[in-house]
Chain A
Amino acid sequence: MTEGLEIFGKTVFDVLFIDYRIMVVVAIISIILFLAGIYMQLDKWGRGVPEGATKPAGAWGTLKLMFQKTFEKGIGPALGIIVLDVFLQRRIWRRRKTEWLMHMLIFWGWVGLFILTVAAAGAEFYGPFVKGTDFQFFADFWKTLELPNNIFSYMLVGGIAIAIVRRIFLADVPPARFTSVDWIALAGLSIVIITGFWAQGLRMNLGIEERMLVSAYETVAPGFFNNPVVLFHEVFTLLFCVAYLPFSKLFHMFVTPLVIMINKGGYVEVNP
């Protein structure tokens, strides 16, 4: 019987039902692709010529410009914009309360689940590599994450439900042109969400102690370790939401907050 996975001489217990050797490799690939994509986008934006300049800014020049613009009125005002306009989405709140609720639920649902996933993964490494604890550490830690996990999941479901109802029954303007790239984005997101709930359902159906046994290759639930649904969800999400993001139609999720910060909350605030 093994107790978890051997990684660099340390035993890593599994909480999320995934093989961390695979995940680490996929995560590294995803981050490399993400950074390459961001560089390509910076390079594209950098072909523009800043006001008052005579030649294109270039990728690094654009990065510098972004920081300059964001903080040109000081750190305090910039933090105010980040909190009010990015985290609390003040621009949407001012105009459309239902849409604001929808955006907040989806945005914070996603962010919350992402943070919890990172926290769980981090704990699994923190235990053996830093703290030197046994599986009880993960069991306790995982239990503390269950409630917020459920809350963020319900937030996400609620936001998506509002979005669907809005789109089908309450749309006051026609939708934007739909292209093949939009279908890719929609299909990808659907896969992430459906497999995400499926994976979480599988985890919830099994108690944490049972999971430890599963992780330890016990025969309680043979084949459950590296469950294909769970593994697929985690790998696909990393590839789709991280690696593919700079190349996809969903890139605005990354750029919009930056533009809001650079434009100091938006046009009305830029030209008071």
Chain B
Amino acid sequence: MAKNKPAISLENLTPIQLMEFDACTRCGECVKYCPTYNARDKDQAIEPRDKILRWRDFVTRSYGWRAKLFGPASIPEEEIKKFTDDLYNCTTCGMCGTVCCAGIDTIELWESTRANLVKHGTGPYGKQSLFPKLIGDGHNPYLKQQKDRLVWMTPDIKIAEKSDLAYFIGCTAGYNQQVLCVSTARILNKLDVPFMVLGEDEWCCASALIRTGQQHLGDVPKQAALHNIEALKARGAKRVVFACAGCFRAAKIDWPRAYGKALPFETIHMSQLLAEQLDAGKIKWEKSFDKTITYHDPCHLGRHVGVFEEPRKVLKSMPGVKLIEMERNRHEQRCCGAGGGVKAGIPDLALNVAKDRVNDARATGAEALISACPFCRRNLIDGRDELKLEMRVDDLVVLSAHLMGLSTDIKSPAPGAPKETISDLFRTQTIPPKPPAEPKKEAPKEEKK
């Protein structure tokens, strides 16, 4: 009797990851902290533990001792599809791994399993499947032009042709959250720290592809990483600063993997650079901000790479600022809901998680919620708007620029530009409404032949 073929492959999974599936003790600690499980009305299929146990079951049915002796058991394709969808209902925030009693590295586990399922044909989820083409062809996920990489530039900002320090802008800030670019650039100018940018030579960091398990499609993330590394190296960058936590994480963890060795430059997040400048006594706060604020640790800056204290150090040094911690902070922070491709693929889930996080902030009584990542900023603004709260949501660099006496205004905002383009904290600008679209002329219906 011919044996069945295994219903799943083990591609993209390492031996250690296959061990990790067997290591889950089912204690349920991850369930308590999972932001998407909570936002999905505690649906058991969404909890990390259940996903591990289901995949373990698939592996056992396909490659376990019974499968070895009697042939692999069949697994209905709908079951694999359901598992895939549940797996993508995850922001890969890493909270489950942080609290895992078995020490399982869940972030890597989810990403590898996603890659496996993309190869299987059931992943990714919804609009996430557009990423390879968008990032591969256009070098950004927003259908923007490379020539517009520096569209945010204002006449007052000085960018050096060559410098030891490079500012890697990122697609989200550069195209959709210009306030972050102008704030970062003005801060560096004010601190007399010369910096260069790649401009049209900057490609997407490709984080979105890796987070959604599509790294192998056309090898786009590897090409993007190598392109950015070589471009930065060619310009003589010794240090690269990132104001986007997503890009920073990609450069810190994913780029060296693509490069096959340590990067030829140091990578640093803007919050770290600010803390460094603060220590050197170079930052002079010129204004006061007499409000209570709370700080949201972006997953990609905190749990993924371990930057927790520098943003707090900067915030605590600001005149007038009273920093109150949310109950869940630092390693135990609750994700904003935007990561892991969820914002693009499952926006309702992203919004529900964001509401939970904004409610965490609300519970502190803070008047402003500060983060250090454009993705978090955007999603938390959405959550705040959905909850109809007065709380302001903004980025650490925007607040820093303002208190250093700098303008956070961007060039005249384009009509209909995304709300996150301008500062939410200071609201010195408004976005003109988008002109009504011209009604589409109906094409004459073809007669049926």
> A residues bordering B, Cβ < 8 Å?
37, 40-41, 43-51, 56-57, 61-62, 65-66, 69, 85, 89, 91-92, 95-96, 99, 172-177, 247, 251-252, 255-256, 258-260, 262-263, 265-268, 270-272
B103 touches which one: A66, A85, A174 (CB < 8 A)?
A85
Instruction: For A66, list chain B residues within 8 Å (CB).
Output: 16, 19
Q: Once the chains are docked, how many angstroms separate the CA of A183 from the CA of B158?
A: 69
Residue of B whose beta carbon sits closest to that of A100:
B101
Instruction: For B15, list chain A residues within 8 Å (CB).
Output: 45-50, 56-57, 61-62, 65
Instruction: For A51, list chain B residues within 8 Å (CB).
Output: 14, 257
A175 touches which one: B28, B99, B106, B306 (CB < 8 A)?
B28
Q: Once the chains are docked, how many angstroms separate the CA of A177 from the CA of B53?
A: 9
Question: Does B186 make an interface contact (CB < 8 A)?
Answer: no
Q: Once the chains are docked, how many angstroms separate the CA of A66 from the CA of B15?
A: 9
How would residues 13 to 47 of chain B score, 1 for a CB under 8 Å from any chain A CB and 0 otherwise?
A: 11111111011111111011000000000101000
Interface pairs A-B: 10 shortest CB-CB:
A266-B103, A267-B97, A259-B23, A48-B15, A173-B28, A173-B31, A62-B15, A176-B26, A260-B103, A45-B18
Some 26 contacts from A to B, beta carbons below 8 A apart, are A40-B68, A43-B68, A44-B64, A45-B18, A48-B15, A49-B11, A57-B15, A65-B15, A85-B103, A95-B101, A96-B29, A172-B32, A173-B32, A176-B53, A177-B50, A247-B65, A252-B22, A252-B102, A256-B101, A259-B23, A259-B103, A259-B104, A262-B16, A263-B16, A271-B304, A271-B305
Instruction: For A69, list chain B residues within 8 Å (CB).
Output: 16
Q: Is the CB of A48 within 8 A of B28?
A: no
Chain B nearest CB, measured from A193 CB (Å): 19
Question: Does B89 make an interface contact (CB < 8 A)?
Answer: no
Chain A nearest CB, measured from B320 CB (Å): 33
Instruction: For A251, list chain B residues within 8 Å (CB).
Output: 22
Residue of B whose beta carbon sits closest to that of A57:
B15
Q: Chain A binding site: helix, strand, loop or mixed by DSSP?
A: helix
Count chain B residues whose beta carbon lies closer than 8 angstroms to a beta carbon of A: 49
Q: Once the chains are docked, how many angstroms separate the CA of A231 from the CA of B58?
A: 37
Question: Does B321 make an interface contact (CB < 8 A)?
Answer: no
| Further 6 A-B residue pairs, CB within 8 A, beyond A99-B27, A175-B26 | A49-B13, A92-B101, A260-B102, A265-B103, A267-B97, A271-B304
Instruction: For A40, list chain B residues within 8 Å (CB).
Output: 64-65, 68
Question: Does B85 make an interface contact (CB < 8 A)?
Answer: no
Q: Is the CB of B14 within 8 A of A47?
A: no
Question: Does B10 make an interface contact (CB < 8 A)?
Answer: yes
Question: Does B378 make an interface contact (CB < 8 A)?
Answer: no
Chain B nearest CB, measured from A230 CB (Å): 31
Q: Is the CB of A44 within 8 A of B59?
A: yes
Q: Is the CB of A65 within 8 A of B16?
A: yes
